[in-house]
Structure 1
Amino acid sequence: MTQNPPESHESTDLPVVLLVEDDGLLLMEAADTLVDAGFEVVEASHADNALSVLESRDDVGVLMTDVDMPRGSMDGFALARLVAHRWPGIPVLVVSGMGTPGPNDMPDGARFIPKPYEPSTLVRTLRAFARRAA
């Protein structure tokens, strides 16, 4: 009996996502959602870890960061602005359950999704980033 090949996720066309989230359960859930959608995910538990990843890898294609991160030297808004400045080719997605961003919180071109978000919204937004970067 012949098995059908697994469903293609077009993973070769999807960017590596740097996922920054201090809550371990939320990090795991978001990572699982993205991997299931065909993304490669690199996890970081706070902004300082994320910067180390960006400085050591050249294949990160999207930054997804939570805002409120008690550990580390900066919150997600500061990380988003820094990444937009140092790595302008990396699109930024900011997520938060603490309200909406103010006028100067996010860099130009960044997107915001409030928590809790639907997994399909997350995947759709990151795929749109991939199409924009292609």
Structure 2
Amino acid sequence: MMRVDGIKDRIATLSQEENELGMVLADLNIRKENALAAIHTELEGIETDRKATTQSVNAEFLALYEKIRAGSNGIGAAALAGNQCKGCNLTLNTIELQRIAGLAQDEVVRCEECRCILVRDK
């Protein structure tokens, strides 16, 4: 008889734990859905902003950027900070930096390592 009572108590405890975990799971699912909805809304806003921004970009340049971005884990352009490409962290040598400095500001410069478009300071 004691064994049956112990089993019944264990079943009751496990049932209670199952109910509690079910409530936790339901709460987590609601939070997940809310987070996904917020991400979706943010993504739509970013896409709208991107479309507005790209309206003023040269189509040929934009096509180059998109091609690079598609082939390099989503990175199409990176800052040239000092002597370093921030896309791959390659340190450019002095000769390359001098060559870049001599180019027109609107000329496209790409990193030799990661092939990103380098965004230079004006």
More helix by share: 2
More strand by share: 1
- TM-score bucket (shorter structure): under 0.3
| Larger gyration radius, structure 1 or structure 2 | 2
Superposition TM-score, scaled by structure 2 size: 0.23
